Chain A
Amino acid sequence: MYDTSFFRFTFVTLVLTFLSLGAMNAQGKYFTRSGTISFVSDALLEKNEAVNNKVSAAIDASTGKVEFIVLIKSFQFKKALMQEHFNENYMESGKYPKSTFSGRITNLKDIDFTKDGAYKVMVTGVLTMHGVTKDVATQGTINIVKGVANVQSKIRVKLADYNIQIPAIVKDKVAQEVDVMIDCKLKKV
């Protein structure tokens, strides 16, 4: 009597373990090394646009952990002078070569990574740039198409929050707040 219930218990536990392992496997991890982050700073006199399409991004679908790594020097501007000022004066990329975001999807249960469709995502985490780390919360979408997770989001960054100082002489040329756009295609690994 004791023996059968023990075996049943073991069997059920084993089945459940395999099922949950299977589910975790179906969720899996998503990754890219060639994600895109861009921004436009619209100011009175000038429109500066810069693109970086060498962003490393990872999402763990089973835990909701989200990770982005961006190199400052990899932002490509149309004007060389803008790029130089961005790197040397504002971001000090020699001293702070990268910016990172580490966070978590807070509505993970609303997203089915195994099923094609567009899902709204809420993310909270910490953004580090120019040597300053701050809490940020943002929303975006994850569009699942044939197992590829297309992530799109936007973070509004106030330069003063990250100790990025704009000299008074170019104040009209550089916006004080910048929308950072995220557009990454993550493949299952």
Chain B
Amino acid sequence: MKKVLALILVGLVVAAGVWFYVNKGHEDVAGEKPELSINATELVKAFETNEQEANKQYVGKLIEVSGKIVQIDLTEDGSVNLLLESDNPMSTVLCQLDPLQKQDQSGISEGREVRIKGLCSGFTTDVVLDRCHIIR
């Protein structure tokens, strides 16, 4: 009887372990410290000059970027993409506000200088930061 109980217990623990592994949560961006800090113009320049090198340096990292909001794009599914100005009028730093860990969005407006942290995903025509949080 004890053996059976022990087996059931072990089974439950294993099942719980598997369940937590499969359903583990997304990275806690809100609570994490950025690895490095840079301004929007320099970040865009880094990708324009040598994309491969910039990919190595920034992609997959939580970085802090400062700059001026030139445009706010609202997508169909309710996402907010803030575009930070760079020297090149064709390229910005596109910061998408975190859809998983919501934040206060009051006071976000075009023309405002902001500091934002987010996960760098790479360069399209813009440097893209995902899951962004406004620091200031």
Residues of A within 8 A of B (CB): 32-34, 36, 51, 53-56, 69-74, 76, 79-81, 83, 94, 97-98, 183, 185
Contact = CB atoms under 8 A, between A and B. Distances in A.
Interface string B62-101: 0000000000010111010101000000001010100100
A73 B124 contact: no
Contact of A80 (B24, B60, B123, B128): B24
A34 B55 contact: no
Given A34-B81, A79-B23, A80-B26, A74 B73 contact: no
Grouping DSSP codes into helix (H, G, I), strand (E, B) and loop, the A interface class, with mixed when no group exceeds half, is strand
A73 B124 CA distance: 12
Q: How large is the interface on B (under 10, 10 to 19, 20 to 34, 35 or more residues)?
A: 20 to 34
Contacts of A69: 124-125
A102 to B, nearest CB: 13
B59 A80 contact: no
Contacts of B22: 79, 81
Contact of B125 (A33, A76, A81): A33
B96 A54 contact: yes
Contacts of B125: 33, 56, 69
B60 A53 contact: no
A183 B81 CA distance: 16
A166 B132 CA distance: 31
Contact of B73 (A34, A51, A79, A97): A34
Nearest to A53: B75
B107 interface: no
